[in-house]
Amino acid sequence: MQENLSELLDAARNVAKKGGQQTLEYFRKSIKVEHKEDESPVTIADRMAEEVMRTEIADHFPEHGILGEELGHTNPDHQVKWILDPIDGTISYIHGVPLYTTLVGITIDNKPAAGVIYAPALDEMCDGAVGHGSYFNGEACSARNTRNFEEATLLTTDLTHIQQYGYEPHFYELHNRCRYYRTWGDAYGHMMIATGRADIMLDPVLNIWDAAALLPVVSESGAVFTGLNGEHRIDAGNAVSATAALHPQVISLINNQK
């Protein structure tokens, strides 16, 4: 499995890079924005990037499964599955903000095994695989060891979902106790935890294609990624990434109050 993972992670980096480069062809250009049934935005850039990523995977691992946000399932029963989000942070993307990312997660027997978070407009890549550590632009990276809320930087994507999903009291308790708060969100916020640039990233709603890349990267950095119920899953529907010391405190705060 170790040799396999190393090969798969190398391939995942390449898939993320190619998909991300495709998004740059439309970045900060006038493109049509459509809305899905859940009112989330989508563009031609999302779809074309996922097509590029799928082609790259199929060329090298034609038997592997693929689940993408825009184009659905391929080979759903294979033990190795690639889970893709071509543009995580489409709202940032359509506004020309460079903090969107291209995500590649790999599961083996439905267990998260490797992940890549790539910010194409910044050319920043953070990746990790189980037992291999986390890396930022090719250099080993690690989370901070912040232990107290009073020293912590809290991140989230926006307040709308905090309110919509009923986490407003928990969020404001964290907000009031933490030193700093910013909306450096979506997957980029989780990458900031893994690279030691922030301490807590709260995500009240998260799809599996948002989460699959995040768990291996964050966990291998020494931080902790779980659903808001504390379970180490990519299908919980929400998530928090935090330093090892702060994570249980966040989970306790959220679940004791709810």
DSSP H/E element including 221: none
Domain boundaries, the chain: 2-141, 149-257
Give the percent of the chain with pLDDT over 90: 90
User: With 80 as the cut, is the pLDDT of residue 160 above it?
Assistant: yes
User: With 60 as the cut, is the pLDDT of residue 45 above it?
Assistant: yes
User: With 70 as the cut, is the pLDDT of residue 2 above it?
Assistant: no
> Dihedral of CA 143/226/90/21: which sign?
positive
- What pLDDT does residue 42 have? 79
Residue 38: which pLDDT band, with cuts at 50, 70 and 90?
A: low
- What pLDDT does residue 1 have? 42
The highest-level CATH class for domain 2-141 is alpha beta
- Encoding tokens for residue 57? 């995977």
pLDDT tens for 165-205 read: 999 999 999 999 999 999 999 999 999 999 999 999 999 99
User: With 80 as the cut, is the pLDDT of residue 3 above it?
Assistant: no
The closest of 199, 196, 194 to 179, measured between CA atoms, is 199
Quick check: helix, strand or coil at residue 90? helix
- Encoding tokens for residue 63? 């038997």
- What pLDDT does residue 249 have? 97
**Count of CB atoms situated within 10 Å of the CB of 207:** 16
Quick check: helix, strand or coil at residue 73? strand
Give the contacts of 41 (CB within 8 A, at least 6 positions apart).
33, 34, 35, 90, 91, 94
- What pLDDT does residue 79 have? 95
Mean pLDDT score across all residues of the chain: 94
pLDDT tens for 66-106 read: 999 888 899 999 999 999 999 999 999 999 999 999 999 99
CATH of 149-257 among 3.60.15.10, 3.20.19.10, 3.40.50.1820, 3.40.190.80: 3.40.190.80
The stretch 16-21 carries a mean pLDDT of 98
- What pLDDT does residue 139 have? 98
pLDDT tens for 200-215 read: 999 999 999 999 999 9
238 φψ region: left (φ > 0), alpha (ψ -120 to 50), beta (else): beta
- Encoding tokens for residue 62? 């034609």
The stretch 217-240 carries a mean pLDDT of 97
Long-range (24+ apart) CB contacts under 8 A made by 2-8 are 2/131, 2/132, 4/108, 5/113, 5/114, 5/129, 5/130, 5/131, 5/132, 6/129, 6/132, 8/80, 8/106, 8/113, 8/114, 8/129
- What pLDDT does residue 118 have? 98
Distance CA 200, CA 206 (A): 16
- What pLDDT does residue 110 have? 94
